[in-house]
Amino acid sequence: MEERTALVTNVLDYAGPPAVAALQAAGFKVMAHDPPFMVPKSREDYDQDHPGVTAMAAQAPEVIIRDAVERVSRLDVLVSNDTYPAIHAPIETAELSDLAATLE
């Protein structure tokens, strides 16, 4: 049976830690993205603390996917862990620019 693989974005925050734990418990090899992983020491520390998980330096979405697929051949699961702060406002006062920033 071929190894199942997953990619978790923004792995250090919000749903990232429990997603990694659940995926590993289910037998997945996990590729991990987070901005601090641009620093080699940060990747090394994360990999050491999370055996079976590979921290990735890439930050641009297309590069993250390309690098992950190059390392594991295919992705079975993608956990898109959006860490952009949720902005709550009454519809009458909500700013359209806040919605645009959230979607971008």
Looking up tokens 């940060």 gives: 42
The whole-number average pLDDT for the span 56-64 is 94
In the block, tokens 């996990």 appear at 30
Indicate the helix (H) or strand (E) that contains 44.
helix 40-49
Q: How much is the average pLDDT of 35-60?
A: 96
Q: Tell me how far apart the alpha carbons of residues 97 and 94 are, in angstroms, rounded to a whole number.
A: 9
pTM above 0.75, yes or no: yes
**Given this model, what pLDDT does residue 2 score?**
75
Q: Which helix (H) or strand (E) holds 97?
A: helix 96-103
pLDDT at 88 over 90: no
Question: How far apart (Å, rounded) are the C-alpha atoms in residues 38 and 52?
Answer: 19
